[in-house]
């Protein structure tokens, strides 16, 4: 073993997602992209992988990932889809399935998702249905994907009825998180992923939220040790929740939707486009969920203020007027609530929220007074 490999081994952390019969590891550390072949050895049904990436990430990292497999005797092919949410539409999905089949895969071929949440969700769903199911590995390249979407097996695509409405729970065989890959990620994308990091503290780890308050700015400025720590803590939290409630059959996994009911409405109103990234919507949504909790007398107002203050301090757009690329939007309470009713979390038209009794004390509520909700949104629009 040469020195760089030893150093990489020391820096590597492995977290197990403990699912009976389908348990898998999340390997986290710097420099792991070049070691993906070794990490996957023993997991591949045959020495053949197809790497799926996007047009931005593939030129940066696909050749290195392919080389990492090839040095362990694994044959590779690389396919790239357009970057961005449009690749998660039926057309993009159909194109990818045909491109995959052009490679003449067999049921022992493994797909490898190299990219952000879009590539991960798309490739995971392709793996779930290609030849009725082949294995897949996640190599996430955005902070959002490293701390959330690559772990837990939610895969899927979008339809004209909404996001992620066609999909499957389909777990990867391995997740390889190379923390160095975030060096090329645009700051806005890093910040959007950070909202999901802070989310874990707000759900049930108040000490981690305090850590975020003290270290978030340094992490976002590029501090590698803090970045790794935040990714590890997030993956530990996600692995714990997924192991206990893989298919969201209790309200436990639903806690990961903190900020999502508001966030979904904001995203729907901004067209799920570049004016508001998913993680940004979650950040603004978490601030609103804490405000609502405070207005309903469930949560101390100081806790709601702490959430809003921290997210704004790192640069997330928590005020509605900060959303929309500088143009003040014509937000309307009734329209936002209408989007909430169309959200897949709503049950029989009844709104579902993740609320909180304080920082780190989140719970699922289907019992929100709509007059309070109206008042909150009216005030948020006017602020």
Positions annotated as catalytic residues are: 132, 154, 196, 238, 248, 253, 257, 260, 264, 278
Q: Which does 83 bind (CB under 5 to 8 A by kind): ligand NAD, ligand GLY, none?
A: ligand NAD
CA dist 207 → 252, 338, 379 (Å): 20, 36, 31
Do 259 and 65 touch, CB atoms closer than 8 A?
no
Q: Which does 142 bind (CB under 5 to 8 A by kind): ligand GLY, ligand NAD, none?
A: ligand NAD
Structure tokens at 209: 């939220």
| Of 224 and 296, CB closest to ligand NAD | 224
Q: Which does 56 bind (CB under 5 to 8 A by kind): ligand NAD, ligand GLY, none?
A: ligand NAD
CB of 73 to ligand GLY, least distance (A): 34
Closest-by-Cβ residue to ligand NAD is 117
Q: Which does 280 bind (CB under 5 to 8 A by kind): ligand NAD, ligand GLY, none?
A: none
Do 312 and 286 touch, CB atoms closer than 8 A?
no
CB of 86 to ligand NAD, least distance (A): 10
Residue 253 lies near ligand GLY (rule: CB under 6 A): yes
Q: Which residues bind ligand NAD (CB under 6 A)?
A: 54, 56-57, 60, 83-85, 88, 115-119, 121, 141-142, 144-145, 148-149, 152, 154, 163-164, 181, 184-185, 189, 192, 278-279
- How does DSSP assign 135-203, residue by residue? -EEEEE-SHHIIIIITSS-EEEEEETTEEEEEEEE---SEEEEEGGGGGGS-HHHHHHHHHHHHHHHHH
63/13 Cα distance (integer angstroms): 25
Do 196 and 148 touch, CB atoms closer than 8 A?
yes
Q: Which does 84 bind (CB under 5 to 8 A by kind): ligand NAD, ligand GLY, none?
A: ligand NAD
Total of chain residues touching ligand GLY, rule CB under 6 A: 5
How far, in whole angstroms, is CA 3 from its chain's centroid? 34
Q: Which does 253 bind (CB under 5 to 8 A by kind): ligand NAD, ligand GLY, none?
A: ligand GLY
122/381 Cα distance (integer angstroms): 35
| Of 148 and 232, CB closest to ligand GLY | 148
| Of 111 and 119, CB closest to ligand NAD | 119
Q: State the CB neighbour count (10 A cutoff) for residue 80.
A: 21
Check the CA dihedral 145-151-156-159 and report its sign.
negative
Piece of 147-155, 176-184, 298-306, 312-320 that binds ligand GLY (CB under 6 A):
147-155
Residue 232 lies near ligand GLY (rule: CB under 6 A): no
Structure tokens at 355: 């609320």
> Which listed residue (34, 85, 135, 148) binds ligand GLY by CB under 6 A?
148
Do 169 and 247 touch, CB atoms closer than 8 A?
yes
| Of 138 and 233, CB closest to ligand NAD | 138
CB of 92 to ligand NAD, least distance (A): 12
Q: State the CB neighbour count (10 A cutoff) for residue 91.
A: 10
| Of 123 and 303, CB closest to ligand NAD | 123
CB of 342 to ligand NAD, least distance (A): 16
Do 294 and 209 touch, CB atoms closer than 8 A?
no
How far, in whole angstroms, is CA 374 from its chain's centroid? 29
Closest to 255 (Cα-Cα) out of 266, 244, 268: 244
Residues that bind ligand GLY (CB under 6 A): 148, 152, 154, 253, 256
């Amino acid at each position: 073993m040469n020195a760089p490999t030893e150093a990489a081994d020391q820096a590597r952390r492995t977290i197990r997602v403990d699912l009976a019969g389908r348990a898998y590891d999340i390997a986290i550390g710097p420099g792991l992209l070049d070691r993906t072949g070794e990490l996957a050895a023993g997991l591949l049904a045959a020495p053949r992988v197809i790497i799926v990436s996007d047009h931005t990430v593939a030129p940066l990292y696909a050749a290195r990932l392919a080389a990492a497999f090839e040095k362990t005797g694994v044959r590779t092919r690389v396919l790239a889809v357009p970057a961005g949410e449009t690749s998660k539409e039926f057309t993009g999905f159909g194109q990818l399935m045909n491109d995959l089949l052009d490679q003449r895969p067999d049921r022992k071929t493994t797909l490898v998702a190299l990219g952000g949440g879009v590539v991960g969700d798309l490739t995971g769903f392709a793996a779930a249905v290609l030849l009725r199911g082949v294995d897949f590995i996640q190599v996430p390249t955005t902070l959002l994907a490293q701390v959330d979407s690559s772990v837990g097996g939610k895969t899927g695509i979008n339809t004209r009825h909404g996001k992620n409405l066609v999909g499957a729970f389909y777990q990867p065989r391995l997740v390889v998180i190379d923390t160095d890959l975030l060096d090329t990620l645009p700051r806005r994308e890093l910040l959007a992923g950070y909202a999901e990091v802070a989310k874990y503290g707000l759900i049930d780890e108040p000490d981690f939220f305090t850590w975020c308050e003290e270290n978030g700015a340094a992490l976002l400025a590029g501090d590698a040790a803090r970045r790794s720590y935040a990714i590890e803590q997030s993956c530990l939290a996600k692995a714990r929740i997924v192991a206990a409630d893989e298919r969201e059959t209790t309200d436990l996994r639903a806690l990961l939707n903190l900020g999502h009911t508001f966030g979904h409405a904001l995203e729907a109103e901004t067209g799920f486009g570049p004016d508001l990234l998913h993680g940004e919507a979650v950040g603004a949504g978490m601030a609103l969920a804490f405000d609502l909790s405070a207005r309903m007398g469930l949560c101390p107002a100081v806790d709601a203020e702490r959430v809003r203050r921290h997210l704004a301090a790192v640069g997330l757009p928590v005020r509605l007027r900060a959303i929309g690329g500088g143009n003040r939007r014509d937000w309307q309470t009734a329209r936002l609530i209408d989007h909430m009713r169309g959200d897949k979390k709503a049950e029989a038209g009844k709104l579902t929220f993740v609320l909180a009794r304080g920082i780190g004390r989140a719970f699922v509520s289907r019992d929100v007074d709509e007059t309070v909700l109206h008042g909150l949104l009216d005030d948020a629009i006017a602020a």
